[in-house]
Structure 1
Amino acid sequence: MRQIRSVWREALTGELCWVDSAGRPNGIAVTPLLRGEAPCVALPYSCGATIGLLETAREIGFAVTDRRSLREGRGGLVAFGPVRVTHDLSGSLFGGEMLEQELRKYPPSRALADSLLLRRENWWWMPRAIVELSAVNRLVGSAPRRDPTRHALLVHGSERMTVSTVEVSDRRDGRTKLTPLDDASLPDGVRGTVFGYDYTSADLERWESWRFSGRVSAGELEVSETAGKPGERLRPLGLLERIRRRHGTAKACRAGITAAERGVDARA
């Protein structure tokens, strides 16, 4: 735990990887936080669907692979283990040391929660689902991703999840070539997802992810689902775009909070 805790504490961005109960590999970009000494993330309730998947996953990979979040000369690291999901619907748990960490690492949160007045006004931003790594089953080194336009994480596996770094290239005819960047060999005939992301380094105002999912075969991914686009230029948002994004986030968070409260009531 000590090794991933040290890397997680220093990282600006990280990744959560898992395989859901239907055998679908998944991955998301996250802001790495600590709850006491435990690596965790604090997901807003706009991520309600993802929170549900994480609650049922047998094992989660906590990864730091983006070169910008790693010390010079250090490789990436993935820690695999079970998680504990805590629904902090009041926001009181998140509003302590975890909020302070988020305000340092994720500047857009400052516009929503950098004062008591803002926290009251944007109350929907404070409730969080805390996803905490409760134990480390195994630690795996990984090559750092140096080019956010081409480098990605490949997630696959059924009995045992595997996470490795690959270069994505030659996308055509529903197939994309995968080249390993570390010592891991590519699987064959399995479901896989490759995902990556980029962000505006000054303020993280734009933080965009992309993913391809399908079947890995003969060094290629036969793509059946896509979301986002690698290499997209991250232009600053205009005023109208900022307003729309904020309204959309608020609406999604309020809906997710309501659904989570209903779930708590149903279990009571």
Structure 2
Amino acid sequence: MAEAGSAKIWRRLAAAAVDGVFFVLAASLMSVVLYSATDGRFRAYVFQPIDRCEAAASIAPGVARAAVSAIPGATARVVSATACRRLFLGLESGRFVSVNVEAQQGETVMGAAVLQPVNRKGEPVRPLSLGWAYPLAFVLCMAVGEGVLGGTPGKAALALRVVAANGGRLGFARALARNLVVYGWLVAGALLVAALPHLGRAAPGVMAFAREVRLAELTVVGGLALLALALLLAGRPDPAYDRWTSARVVRV
């Protein structure tokens, strides 16, 4: 079908929403594959809202030692434990044990709940989290789809195609630049979250500040930032980021 002109903003937003849902589902399935293939050593939670937990009759000695070492006191002991599995569509993507520990120092009794990642056998592991890489993977997938294939699942569903200003293929480099402008805040946020523990060790005040900031406040600030970005990049007939990269989103 012949091109029918530049796509309206609502079609672009709907296509972006479809792309986001499609990627989250694919990435969540990939997290299940990573977890299964590495026996829990690699984990990358994306959208696993269900934790199935039950009281643990016994735990591995390594899990008990790690939990007891988290609270000072020669009399530290394990009080109870709960084994949990993180699931996506019924598929396991993570497993951990919540151990309740208490210790007595003089007349003071201290308690703590310690979360210990474990493998399928219940043995403690120190998993490598790869969740921070998903925003970058999303941008790369969008760039490949738009620059090489001419579209993405969301754009195909909304009958849209991304082309160069002259009507030809956009190319990976320009598509990558375009998506970094649109979704770069996701990549920056993921990298910041991944770097926070290291920043906290170098500057304890950073983590203290992060603990003071509530999720609701972050949501409001993030929403206002996105609104400002949308207003800044809006334009006619095409948004500014399309003009910057000599791209067009057209109906087909």
Calculate the TM-score normalised by the size of structure 1.
0.25
Q: Which has the higher strand share?
A: 1
Structure ID, larger Rg: 2
Calculate the TM-score normalised by the size of structure 2.
0.26
